[in-house]
Structure 1
Amino acid sequence: MDEALLRTLVPTVIGILVRRGADFAAAEDAVQDALVEALRVWPEDPPRDPKGWLVAVAWRRFLDTVRADDTVRADASRRRREILVDAEPRPGPGTPVDDTLALYFLCAHPSLTPGSAVALTLRAVGGLTTRQIAQAYLVPEATMAQRISRAKRTIADVRLDRPGDVATVLRVLYLVFNEGYSGDVDLATEAIRLTRRLAAVIDHPEVSGLLALMLLHHARRAARIRPDGSLVPLAEQDRSLWDTRMIAEGVEILQAALARDRLGEFQAQAAVAALHADARTAEETDWVQIVEWYDELLRFTDNPVARLNRAVAVGEADGPQAGLAALAELDPGLPRYTAAAAYLHERAGDTATAARLYTEAAHLATSVPERDHLVRQAARLHSVS
């Protein structure tokens, strides 16, 4: 059975139910029930019209829920009575409507927390089950179910046809991408799929910029982790393992976006990634241009992580002392600040300070692979001192 097709159809089916009169939360629940039924039935009896099958089953599930609701009595709302009387669409030609974009905006509504927006996007737009999302985020299924339910209640009264904020949608998709891989769902690949779909329904250079950024980062995935699970820093990666076709696609998408002369933060980040991808060796990296692109990026966002990355780039372009000077202007409490300081001190020849800072950074690391990498860096310097 084609599970990818199922996921692709989810936003369309939800949109059809909403246009027939279901509220978003009820429509999404009904479609999830239909997906479960499809997983059970389709392997033995695949439908000739998958979308039509899903719409029919989801609509029946929605009507069953409405009829079972205690509020469907004499005092029930007029709208609910109308839904039950006029349960099926009137015959005759209709205009196909793609609700995918509206669902992106709805699931990334500003009233939702980032975590809730991500979970709801993965369910309503991505077509993942609550169990799959919970496994991906390494939380109990009940916890994820509560998070999704709260998110749906929060946006219960938001109309599907209201304009949305592209920037918010892109931030949510980037959060999904940065989760990487865990459980049985590859969130990085899922984020790329969803961003491709977004690019197909909206013509916006920042959407292209985000897609290019994801492709350029994802192209290096095979080189990032050694067989034993340890991290491989960018400078030490085996570049023959990079996916050159994916890099070429990312660069092509980025160049088309930049040609429109509507620069944004994701295009600037993608330009940095493209410069890394373009270097045949770490020594050939054009750090001067990378610093310039970080300067462009900081015109759009005062993101402290971008400033930290810029300081490291300055250290590569103008020497470690210049990098340390740029780093000194930032908050030492920033994530990875201590690791960046350790690296720049090592580049400056101060191995004793670098070893101490690597040890401190290891204690502050938020993941086991990162911690182990920093511990090894400290041990390496201690062994030569």
Structure 2
Amino acid sequence: MNTLQSFDTKNFSDRLTGSGFTLLKGDCICEDGCKDSRRSQKTGLIFCRKAVNPIGYIYRGQDRHGFGMWQAVEDAQAFLSQASEEREQKKRDSLELQARRRREKIQRQMPKVELNRCYSLFLSESILQESDRQTLLKRGLTPKQIEKHGYKSVSAWQKLKHNFPHNLPGILDNGVLNVHTSAIVAPVFNHDGLIVTLGVRLNESENGRYRTLTSATKRKPDGVTSHLDGELPITVIEPSKFLGNAIWLTEGVILKPNIASDRLGVPVVGAMGGRFTNSPNLTESSLTSLSPKYHTKSVVFGLDAGDVANRDVAQKWINQYKYLSSLGYECCFAWWGQNNKNCNDIDELPIEEHQFIEYISYERFIALCHKYGGIQPEKQEFISIMRTKLQQLKRNYILYLMRLILSVTLTKNIYQT
């Protein structure tokens, strides 16, 4: 029997309808009377083999059976609007989830007074190993300063003597300190003089030596961290005697700010990586506390060696400048020629060289970044600079040739006479 003769159009239509399609039965957008065109009941797409750019429809490709897929313009606009709304809703849901998790972390956070009590107890029962003491002495700290800043030694996975609360950052479920190698620890103080976490300097590490205590691990990523109200902790170090006229901001939380404050006689605020914008509220509250106490609205950024030559770091300081300036502080940059990594940081700079420190403007800092590579010129600017340099080289070469010709001519005339 001929298969085409036995084809049941009605049954086929029923199957299509039952599977989510409606046969158009000659009433198709191609206006060619085709019998096999159909419309998707779910998407509204029309499937037709013959249609060629029908008015009011958008081509969406071809299905596996060779049918062209066409979508009405109004359906496409509605689909785009719906997709946009769905994306916005997903974005809102994601932001709400992040906010909820942040609130939950803050709720689990130990009060600052309790943090201070627990960390003070831990430090009071800890000692500083002689090898670590020698390390600190080599960094330029005096024995008195080492004692003042509370440096102590810890061993890898050190077992704690007390049953500290489970929400104390740095403590694992088995009652050990979450530090995987021997290290030096020191208190990180807030502007109220409370210890809010411990800064850690690992004696051995391939991924950076410095960090703050955390209970978060690969196995337990939701462990409590040292964040305070959702922000990374910063340290506030005040001098025994104020000798300057500004508040300094440096990177780090346990060595650089401590040494800088002792040597310069100024209050120093320190942040991990020098990224105060990661802790905007803590930074603002710290400066709000220090500014009237020391009668100054001046802030000095303590640039590290080579910062003006590093694009990422230069941009970081630009961001810090803009943020602190927006709070109403008069900002400048400390400069003693530290244009590369071989120079001294502020905690390494000999005291007798402090007299050479310049306090430069934002514009001067930007100029130094351009000079040493921290800021790369835009493509068009680079082309313009290179064109200017080539023109200068061309002029110099022409002048050189003219002088050479003149010299040869004079020499020739002298010999002829």
TM-score if structure 1 supplies the norm length?
0.29
Higher relative contact order (CA 8 A, sep 6+): 1
Higher strand proportion (structure 1 or 2): 2
Higher helix proportion (structure 1 or 2): 1
Name the larger-Rg structure.
2
TM-score if structure 2 supplies the norm length?
0.27
